[in-house]
Chains A and B, each alone.
Chain A
Amino acid sequence: MLVKDYMTRHPILIEPRKHVTDAQRVMTEAGIRHLPVVGDGKRLLGLVTRQRLAIQPHQLASLDVWEITRYLADLTVADVMVKGPDLHTISPDATLEEAADVMIRHKISGLPVVEAPGNIVVGILTETDLLIELQDLLGAVDAGWRVVMRVPDRPGEFRKLVRAIGDKGWGIMAMGSVRTPKDPKHWDLILKVRWCGREELLDVLRGIPDQEIVDLRETRPPAAGPAAG
């Protein structure tokens, strides 16, 4: 559950001297939203995002047509990239929670992953990668039963549930817990159970005292990833 396990390795990179239109073309063709800008030896210098490529009206307001053309023609990646204190990065050994925290705090959708000495780019972590982690976390990759139980906020509830399923020899692929929204006295536990039938599972779950079945449904693995070649 570290950044290095979920980041995209070998991201497409660009050099600061390149023209903005090059960056635009690369991003469109590759279908990416973040383009790390690197110097020699893949040292991170900045980050180009789609928003950065959009030209702000106020920059052009005072220019006439000819000047606009020249302005655009001279624009390099170095001119538009995010840099300095606005450039946020994450280490490959950081946890995903840390990465999410950085992204939420600064309202950004992607983070270049850099190694400490020399700021070498080793990957990129985007919202998509976090969503993939969420998907994995909830066990959506394999078929099974998705169960949500509401349990009181006291010790031992979790154990009761796990033991009830474990005793039957069924498998738990994934589990998570959140405080029930708008009800601080309860927790919602989510589990992915497999190797069992619906009725027998319901029987077991109903037999657990003080716990309430909020939701039970069958899940199938998601369709194969996007753009399968």
Chain B
Amino acid sequence: MHSRPPGKIGQPVIRVDQLGIAYETRQGLVHAVREVSFEIHRGETLGLVGESGCGKSTVAYGLVNYLGRNGRIVRGEIQFQGQSLVGRSEEELRRLRGDQISMVFQDPMTSLNPVMPVGEQMAEVLTVHRAMPKDEARTRCLEMLRRVYMPDPAKVLERYPHQISGGQQQRVVIAMALLNNPALLVMDEPTTALDVTVEAAVLDLIADLRRDFDTAILFISHNLGVIARVSNRVGVMYAGELVELAAVDELFADPRHPYTQGLLRCLPRLGRSKASSLLHPIRGRVPAPDRLPPGCVFEPRCDYARQACRAERPALRALRPGHHTRCLFSDEIDAAAWAPPADEGRPAVADSRPAAAGGDPPAPILNVAGLKTYYRHPSASPLGVLGLGQTDYVKAVDNVSFAVPKGRTLGIVGESGCGKSTLIKTLIGLESPSGGRADFIGFDINRRVSQRDLAIIRELQMVFQNPDATMNPSYTVGQQIERPLRRFKIVPPAQVHAEVVRLLRAVKLDEHYYDRFPRQLSGGEKQRIGIARAFAGRPDLVLCDEPVSALDVSVQAAVLNLLMEIQREQNTTMLFISHDLSVVRFLSDDVAVMYLGQIVEIGPAEAIYAPPYHPYTESLLAAVPIPDPTVEQEPIRLEGSVPSPLHPPSGCRFHTRCPRRNLLPAGGQICETTEPPWQEAGGGHRLYCHIPLETLRGLAPVVKAQA
């Protein structure tokens, strides 16, 4: 690497000045983006972060004029390589896009043609655009795939997009975007759909490519952790405006806009737990672009709002060179001196496991031993049609055992396809178990929900992931919360309404919500109703299937606080599954890590997040994006993709990807042949690994916070 720092020499690749984008709707012009200004130099990444609906994607689409029929740039200027992009003809922009600007979207399949082999699609970029001979183009594509660290690139060229994994698809898209050596790369949530370990590898790749190709990158994400990892500078967007723009270290160390400060306070940090810290959601919600407050857009939600904030809309101003905010009082407000407002509900500060400190933990309420859920998979042989061939099974959950004491929370983490969802669906009876035992308050629940007693059904409820699907759009909020009350006869019919109102209050919604339809609610509100519905029957055990993963961070914090509060009040036991290690760490007393249908590590939360780790847990922790650029993580990356659960690897299922195998004699041959033993690390912490505990204990912690 040579010595010139990025972004120092010459003109910016792109300069956006006072950009305003509006959409035409039935209600008139809606200004989705207002007064956005920034510039990106060669070899620099500008991260654009904000919650959903804040206009960050609109900015990206505005740059390449993908605004659709009803969107247009109403103000401002975009200078790309010294030339204005505003008011250019469709044809000129198209050529420019092909040559100098590339885009990478969240879903790689939107950029890939499903009926064309990967190699052909990539080569097309070169043969059509540059009239390059076919052989030459192929060599180029191969080289580029190698450049993006694609395993076995020659084979990938022959494959169709659906035959490669999601992470590999995204690599192909990035490789394609780079084939033309673009000056500007616009990436809109490129890793959001990927698992955390794959995401980490793709982010590494993006950082490498920026350096080697000197490309200017506009990187859009809702995830502050991802932004902290890839960006040089960060712009924070709120309600269509850029509210803060600063170098990445400065933004995270010393945020000056109240919104940025609020966002950082909502995030559960890795290593923090509900006992040690609080989450502070930002009150209120993002205003709709057609109903903006007259003054500062953030004023209604701001803890520092004064009269002046209501009177005038602040402009983006420089606090010091390179640090801009759109707040009148940025110089005065101090994030460190912030105290939560008095009316904020007290989250579960108290340790929720009083018995754990001394004496024995309470008796387990849920006991699972050797649970198996297999799906029948039609075999490939023609005999399968006749039902004669050998039936294959997808071992979604294979031999899982754990126990949950009353009143505690067991968090289950793992990447997609690890079986965590199937596990809780089996427990609640939506899937039929194939073997093993599951006892819930002394009753056998190893059967489908339709064969269970109503009394058991009532004690076992679930909170779902997708806020848009969790409520039936045909009924009002009140009707949907009433249903479990009536069905389980929780209160006499005359008191149902009062009880619904009480539940609404419990989830911090007022009575007016009773008659609202789901389409009138925001995602966070829907999720609250989902929680109210699940807790309506006062169940003993609530299973939460990623209840906050679809929510924005500020809403997520409020919902997490709510879950903890209700849990504490009702002394409910919870199973909480999530792919987000920070959230699980924050909420759970115990954590189980799943890989390919099996639990590989289980124990008290603080034990899981410190050595000794299972090698898989270790790589998850190394990959998790942390919203703090000063934190250093060991560069441990998993290779390959998760093997098919149809034919899981022999011995230890993780052996095909394990980065720590070579700690064992003979390169870990034993891992391929023998199932690992459960090793007790003390305090209920168990590891499913061949590597001796002493060796694992000796490994350095993966996450190092700087003093």
Which residues from chain A sit less than 8 Å from chain B, CB to CB?
A: 5-6, 8-10, 12-13, 26, 29-32, 40-43, 117-118, 120, 122, 132, 136, 141, 224-229
Instruction: Flag if A10 contacts B215 (CB, 8 Å).
Output: yes
* Bound form: Cα–Cα A42–B136 in Å: 17
A residues less than 8 Å from B130 (CB atoms): 40-43, 118, 120
User: Is B8's beta carbon under 8 Å from chain A?
Assistant: yes
* Of B11, B42, B95, the contact of A31 (CB 8 Å cutoff): B11
User: Is B647's beta carbon under 8 Å from chain A?
Assistant: no
- Chain B, residues 176-206, CB within 8 Å of chain A (1/0): the string is 0000111100000000000000000000000
Q: Which 3 A-B pairs have the closest CB atoms?
A: A10-B183, A41-B130, A9-B214
B residues less than 8 Å from A8 (CB atoms): 9-10, 42
Instruction: Flag if B11 contacts A224 (CB, 8 Å).
Output: no
* Bound form: Cα–Cα A224–B3 in Å: 12
A residues less than 8 Å from B182 (CB atoms): 10
The answer to whether A226 and B214 touch (CB under 8 A), given A40-B130, A132-B4, is no
Instruction: Flag if B11 contacts A9 (CB, 8 Å).
Output: no
CB-CB nearest in chain B for A133: B2
A residues less than 8 Å from B136 (CB atoms): 117
Interface centre among A117, A136, A141, A228 (most CB of B within 10 A): A117
Instruction: Flag if B82 contacts A227 (CB, 8 Å).
Output: no
* Bound form: Cα–Cα A132–B478 in Å: 71
Instruction: Flag if B8 contacts A42 (CB, 8 Å).
Output: no
CB-CB nearest in chain B for A225: B8
The answer to whether A13 and B81 touch (CB under 8 A), given A41-B129, A118-B131, A227-B9, is yes
CB-CB nearest in chain A for B181: A122
User: Is B225's beta carbon under 8 Å from chain A?
Assistant: no
User: Is B213's beta carbon under 8 Å from chain A?
Assistant: yes
Interface centre among B13, B83, B180 (most CB of A within 10 A): B83
CB-CB nearest in chain B for A26: B82
The answer to whether A228 and B213 touch (CB under 8 A), given A10-B13, A40-B130, A41-B130, is no
* Bound form: Cα–Cα A208–B131 in Å: 63
Instruction: Flag if B9 contacts A226 (CB, 8 Å).
Output: yes
User: Is B292's beta carbon under 8 Å from chain A?
Assistant: no
Within 8 A of A (CB), among B135-184: 136, 180-183
Instruction: Flag if B2 contacts A5 (CB, 8 Å).
Output: yes
* Bound form: Cα–Cα A105–B34 in Å: 53
* Bound form: Cα–Cα A117–B133 in Å: 9
Instruction: Flag if A31 contacts B4 (CB, 8 Å).
Output: no
CB-CB nearest in chain B for A13: B81
The answer to whether A12 and B3 touch (CB under 8 A), given A26-B83, A41-B129, is no
Interface centre among A40, A41, A122, A229 (most CB of B within 10 A): A41
CB-CB nearest in chain B for A25: B82
Instruction: Flag if A10 contacts B216 (CB, 8 Å).
Output: yes
Given A10-B100, A30-B81, A42-B181, 15 more pairs with CB closer than 8 A? A8-B10, A9-B42, A12-B11, A26-B83, A30-B10, A32-B11, A41-B129, A42-B180, A118-B132, A141-B3, A224-B8, A225-B5, A225-B8, A225-B9, A229-B322
User: Is B28's beta carbon under 8 Å from chain A?
Assistant: no
Instruction: Flag if A42 contacts B99 (CB, 8 Å).
Output: yes
A residues less than 8 Å from B321 (CB atoms): 229
Q: Is the interface of B mostly helix, strand, loop or mixed?
A: loop
A residues less than 8 Å from B99 (CB atoms): 41-42
Interface centre among A26, A32, A42 (most CB of B within 10 A): A42
* Bound form: Cα–Cα A141–B2 in Å: 11
Interface centre among A8, A9, A10 (most CB of B within 10 A): A10
**Interchain residue pairs with CB less than 8 A apart (11):** A9-B183, A9-B214, A9-B215, A10-B42, A13-B100, A30-B11, A31-B11, A40-B130, A41-B99, A141-B3, A224-B8
Q: How far is the CB of B493 from chain A (nearest CB, A)?
A: 69
CB-CB nearest in chain A for B182: A10
* Bound form: Cα–Cα A79–B135 in Å: 35
B residues less than 8 Å from A42 (CB atoms): 99-100, 130, 180-181
Instruction: Flag if A10 contacts B81 (CB, 8 Å).
Output: yes
Which residues from chain B sit less than 8 Å from chain A, CB to CB?
A: 2-5, 7-11, 13, 42-43, 81-83, 95, 99-100, 129-133, 136, 180-183, 213-216, 321-322
A residues less than 8 Å from B11 (CB atoms): 12, 29-32
A residues less than 8 Å from B215 (CB atoms): 9-10
CB-CB nearest in chain A for B39: A229
* Bound form: Cα–Cα A199–B581 in Å: 56
Instruction: Flag if A29 contacts B7 (CB, 8 Å).
Output: no
Q: How far is the CB of A42 from chain B (nearest CB, A)?
A: 6
Instruction: Flag if A12 contacts B81 (CB, 8 Å).
Output: yes
A residues less than 8 Å from B81 (CB atoms): 10, 12-13, 30
CB-CB nearest in chain A for B213: A9
Interface centre among A6, A9, A32 (most CB of B within 10 A): A9
Instruction: Flag if A12 contacts B129 (CB, 8 Å).
Output: no
* Of A41, A141, A224, A227, the contact of B131 (CB 8 Å cutoff): A41
Q: How far is the CB of A125 from chain B (nearest CB, A)?
A: 13
Q: How far is the CB of B158 from chain A (nearest CB, A)?
A: 23
B residues less than 8 Å from A26 (CB atoms): 82-83
CB-CB nearest in chain B for A141: B3
Instruction: Flag if A117 contacts B9 (CB, 8 Å).
Output: no
* Bound form: Cα–Cα A148–B706 in Å: 42
A residues less than 8 Å from B9 (CB atoms): 8, 225-227
* Of A10, A40, A117, A225, the contact of B214 (CB 8 Å cutoff): A10
A residues less than 8 Å from B5 (CB atoms): 225
Instruction: Flag if B2 contacts A136 (CB, 8 Å).
Output: yes
B residues less than 8 Å from A228 (CB atoms): 8
Instruction: Flag if B213 contacts A31 (CB, 8 Å).
Output: no
* Bound form: Cα–Cα A132–B99 in Å: 29
Instruction: Flag if B10 contacts A227 (CB, 8 Å).
Output: yes
Instruction: Flag if A31 contacts B8 (CB, 8 Å).
Output: no
B residues less than 8 Å from A41 (CB atoms): 99, 129-131, 180
CB-CB nearest in chain B for A5: B2
* Bound form: Cα–Cα A14–B47 in Å: 29
* Bound form: Cα–Cα A12–B216 in Å: 13
CB-CB nearest in chain B for A119: B130
B residues less than 8 Å from A132 (CB atoms): 4
CB-CB nearest in chain A for B12: A229
Q: How far is the CB of B183 from chain A (nearest CB, A)?
A: 3
* Bound form: Cα–Cα A41–B127 in Å: 10
* Bound form: Cα–Cα A224–B132 in Å: 42
CB-CB nearest in chain B for A118: B130
A residues less than 8 Å from B183 (CB atoms): 9-10
* Bound form: Cα–Cα A151–B100 in Å: 52
* Bound form: Cα–Cα A30–B7 in Å: 14
A residues less than 8 Å from B82 (CB atoms): 12, 26, 29-30
* Bound form: Cα–Cα A226–B214 in Å: 18
Q: How far is the CB of A37 from chain B (nearest CB, A)?
A: 14
CB-CB nearest in chain B for A8: B10
* Bound form: Cα–Cα A40–B100 in Å: 11
* Bound form: Cα–Cα A8–B216 in Å: 13
CB-CB nearest in chain A for B128: A41
* Bound form: Cα–Cα A40–B131 in Å: 9
Q: How far is the CB of A26 from chain B (nearest CB, A)?
A: 4
* Bound form: Cα–Cα A120–B100 in Å: 12
